[in-house]
Structure 1
Amino acid sequence: MEYRKLGNSELQLSAITYGAFAIGGNMWGGNEKQDSIAGIHAALDHGITSIDTAPFYGFGRSEELIGEAIRGKDRSKIQLLTKFGLVWDGSNNGKGEYFFDAPADGKNIPVYKYTSKANIIKELEESLKRLGTDYVDLLQLHWPDATTPIAETMEALNTLIRQGKIRAAGVSNYDQGQMQEAAKTIQLASNQVSYSMLNREIEKDIVPYSIGNNIGIIAYSPLERGLLTGKYFKDAALKADDHRNGYFGQFPADKVMAFLESITPLAEGKKASLAQLVLRWTTLQPGITVVLAGARNATQAVENVAAMDLQLTTEEIGFINGELEKVYSRQAV
Structure 2
Amino acid sequence: MNVETMRMEGIPVAVSRIALGTWAIGGWMWGGADDSASVATIQSALDHGINLIDTAPVYGFGHSEEVVGKALAGRRHQAVIATKVALEWGEGGVRRNATPARIRLEIEDSLRRLRTDYIDLYQVHWPDTLVPFEDTAAELEKLRIEGKILAVGVSNFSPRQMDAFSVATRLAAVQPPYNLFERAIEADVLPYAREQGLAVLAYGALCRGLLSGRMRAATTFDGDDLRNADPKFRQPRFAQYLAAVEALSAFARERHGKSVLALAIRWILDQGPTVALWGARRPDQLSGIGDAFGWKLSAQDMEDIDALLERHVTDPVGPEFMAPSLR
> What residue number does 1:224 align with?
207
Task: Describe the SS at the equivalent of 2:171.
Answer: coil
Q: Relative to 1, partners in 2 of residues 1:305 and 1:43: Cα closer, same or farther, differing over 3 Å?
A: farther
Q: Relative to 1, partners in 2 of residues 1:81 and 1:56: Cα closer, same or farther, differing over 3 Å?
A: same
- 1:192 corresponds, among 162, 169, 175, to 175
- 1:137 corresponds, among 120, 128, 133, to 120
- Could you tell me whether the CA contact under 8 Å between 1:48 and 1:305 is conserved in 2? no
Query: Identity of paired residues, percent?
Result: 37
Aligned counterparts of 1:40 and 1:236: Cα–Cα separation in 2: 27
Q: Give the Å deviation of 1:172.
A: 0.5
- Could you tell me whether the CA contact under 8 Å between 2:43 and 2:71 is conserved in 1? yes
Q: Give the Å deviation of 1:234.
A: 4.7
**What count of residue pairs does the alignment treat as equivalent?**
313
Task: Describe the SS at the equivalent of 2:15.
Answer: strand
Q: Relative to 1, partners in 2 of residues 1:256 and 1:7: Cα closer, same or farther, differing over 3 Å?
A: farther
- Could you tell me whether the CA contact under 8 Å between 1:49 and 1:77 is conserved in 2? yes
> What residue number does 2:32 align with?
30
Q: Give the Å deviation of 1:205.
A: 1.1
Q: Give the Å deviation of 1:331.
A: 4.6
Task: Describe the SS at the equivalent of 1:241.
Answer: coil
> What residue number does 2:323 align with?
none
> What residue number does 1:98 align with?
none
> What residue number does 2:163 align with?
180
Aligned counterparts of 1:245 and 1:256: Cα–Cα separation in 2: 15
The yes-or-no answer on 1:157 pairing with 2:140 is yes
Task: Describe the SS at the equivalent of 2:175.
Answer: strand
Aligned counterparts of 2:10 and 2:114: Cα–Cα separation in 1: 25
Aligned counterparts of 1:50 and 1:185: Cα–Cα separation in 2: 26
Aligned counterparts of 2:290 and 2:219: Cα–Cα separation in 1: 23
Return 5+ residue gaps in structure 1 as ranges: 90-107
Aligned counterparts of 1:121 and 1:207: Cα–Cα separation in 2: 30
Q: Give the Å deviation of 1:109.
A: 5.2
- Could you tell me whether the CA contact under 8 Å between 1:193 and 1:220 is conserved in 2? yes
* Residue deviations 1:177-232 (CA, integer Å, cap 9, x gap): 10111121111111100111111111111111111111221110121111222323
Q: Give the Å deviation of 1:28.
A: 0.4
> What residue number does 1:17 align with?
19
> What residue number does 2:307 align with?
322
* Residue deviations 1:106-132 (CA, integer Å, cap 9, x gap): xx6521211111211110111111111
**1:1-333 → structure 2 map (5 Å cutoff):** 1-7=3-9, 10=12, 12-73=14-75, 75-89=76-90, 110-234=93-217, 236-247=219-230, 248-249=232-233, 252-269=237-254, 270-286=256-272, 288-326=273-311, 327=313, 330-333=317-320
Instruction: Give the number of the structure with larger relative contact order, counting CA–CA contacts within 8 Å between residues 6 or more apart.
Output: 1
Task: Describe the SS at the equivalent of 1:26.
Answer: coil
Aligned counterparts of 2:279 and 2:301: Cα–Cα separation in 1: 25
